[in-house]
């Protein structure tokens, strides 16, 4: 897919609006209509619609986050908004915004406020309220795709490791994972006691039968299993489940899981704060 002609059209639209030396959305819409810019979708491809739309959005974001003049950066934001609203797809494709681009958008809102362009925070708030953005971590501007995937995979692996360590380390889950139920119940002692109790019960009834009729008491001897045998079955079932857990997780009885330092976890604890700050900035 050759996106060069589409990007060139956006560049010309931004340049024409920049010449207006205006900051209003109304003037941008006028330039848009004069250029009949909605026809940009007439040349859209039959396949890869998502790639097509994200490429258009990304090019607008490039203008928005650039070091250009305020009118040209405003044109990037206004074009982004209009392209989303005018897109021919249902449901509409959301605008992917990385963490870094979110920070840059937050800075742009502050700068626009300082320059008296109060439409910017209102417009961005409207875009947030309508759910136009899809937030993520990958910055699609600049780096090549292979490097982005490698960085994202490495970050994801660190997060999974941190979550597993946090889940099992110094927690009740870990104690259960290594629990020896037989030792916990003192199974050998219980089996010994239950066997001695059964023998004593049988001996007592045998002695009593010599003097009294014990026909009605014989059911006391008719027990399917001793208490020790029943607990032994529970312990064996527990051990079988533990073995299955070890096989599924790849852990072993000797595994020691410990909490790792948050600073070494690879987790950026304040990543989502940027999205919260962006929302607060618009309130």
Q: Phi then psi for 105, rounded to 5 degrees?
A: -65, -40
Which residues have C-beta within 8 Å of that of residue 275, sequence separation ≥ 6? 102, 135
Residue 170 Ramachandran class (φ > 0 left, ψ -120 to 50 alpha, else beta):
left
- Regarding pTM above 0.85, the answer is no
| Surface-to-core class of residue 153, CB atoms within 10 Å of its CB (0-12 exposed, 13-18 middle, 19+ buried) | exposed
Strand partners, 95: 133
Distance CA 268, CA 262 (A): 9
Residue 1 has pLDDT above 70, yes or no: no
For 90-139, how does the pLDDT look when each residue is reduced to its tens digit (9 = 90+)?
A: 889 999 888 888 899 999 999 999 999 999 999 999 999 999 998 876 66
For 172-205, how does the pLDDT look when each residue is reduced to its tens digit (9 = 90+)?
A: 555 555 566 666 666 677 767 767 766 776 676 6
Domain locations in the chain as residue ranges: 4-153+272-282, 171-257
Distance CA 24, CA 77 (A): 11
């Amino acid at each position: 897919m050759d996106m060069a002609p589409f990007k060139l059209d956006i560049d010309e639209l931004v340049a024409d609006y920049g010449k207006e030396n205006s900051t209003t959305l109304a003037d941008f819409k006028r330039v848009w209509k004069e250029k009949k810019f909605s026809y940009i979708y007439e040349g859209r491809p039959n396949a890869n619609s998502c790639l097509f739309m994200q490429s258009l959005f990304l090019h607008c974001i490039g203008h928005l986050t650039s070091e250009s003049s305020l009118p040209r950066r405003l044109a990037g934001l206004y074009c982004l908004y209009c392209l989303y609203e005018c897109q021919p797809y249902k449901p509409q494709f959301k605008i992917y915004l990385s963490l870094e681009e979110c920070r840059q958008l937050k800075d742009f809102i502050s700068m626009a406020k300082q320059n008296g362009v109060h439409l910017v925070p209102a417009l961005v708030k409207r875009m947030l309220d309508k759910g136009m953005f899809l937030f993520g971590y990958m910055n699609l501007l600049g780096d090549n795709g292979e490097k982005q995937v490698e960085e994202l995979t490495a970050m994801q692996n660190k997060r999974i490791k941190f979550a597993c360590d946090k889940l099992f380390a110094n927690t009740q889950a870990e104690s259960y994972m290594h629990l020896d139920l037989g030792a916990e119940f003192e199974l050998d002692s219980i089996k010994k006691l239950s066997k001695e109790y059964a023998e004593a019960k049988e001996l007592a009834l045998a002695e009593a039968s010599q003097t009294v009729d014990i026909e009605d008491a014989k059911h006391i001897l008719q027990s399917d299993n001793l208490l020790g045998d029943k607990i032994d079955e529970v312990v064996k079932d527990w051990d079988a489940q533990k073995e299955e857990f070890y096989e599924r997780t790849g852990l072993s009885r000797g595994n020691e899981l410990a909490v790792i330092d948050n600073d070494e976890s690879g987790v950026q604890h304040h990543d989502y704060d940027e999205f919260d700050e962006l929302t607060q900035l618009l309130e």
